[in-house]
Homo-oligomer: A and B are copies of this chain.
Amino acid sequence: MRRPFVHRETLRWNDADLQGVVNNAVYMTVVEQARFAYFGSLGLLRGTSFPFLLGTSTIRFVRPARPGMVVDVEARVVRLGTKSFDMTYGISHDGITLAEARATLVWVDEAHRSIPIPADARRTFAEHEDLQDG
């Protein structure tokens, strides 16, 4: 089995809210950044744009992070449908879980209309993730 893709990010001072907590809205941005890195590494971005829109996303907050903290985001594609796919994310610091997330992403064309996931993208995912396609 392949090792999952891991994106490393340093939280900014500006990422903390007025209660001193890096909250779910920021975790969502960190997850987005992990997706940007993941898709960039697979050669699946369109310039700086994503070939999908975020459908449903869920974040479970486990622990607050602090400004300046280095976090790792483990990102996996766990389901590959015809027009959409699912990813899971684990955000951690020094191996301690801060949050867990899951998202359903819908493949789109450049006009943001839903289209089937192209064959070459399917192949790339399947190779990278050891997924059973279909």
A interface list, Cβ under 8 A from B: 9-10, 12-14, 16-21, 23-25, 28-29, 32-33, 36-37, 40, 48-50, 53-61, 64, 66-68, 112
Contact = CB atoms under 8 A, between A and B. Distances in A.
Report the copy number of this chain in the oligomer. Answer: 4
Contacts of A14: 17, 25, 29, 32-33
Nearest to A104: B60
Given A56-B60, A61-B53, A28 B18 contact: no
Contacts of A13: 17-18, 32-33, 36, 48
Nearest to A54: B24
Closest 3 CB pairs of A and B: A13-B36, A16-B18, A58-B58
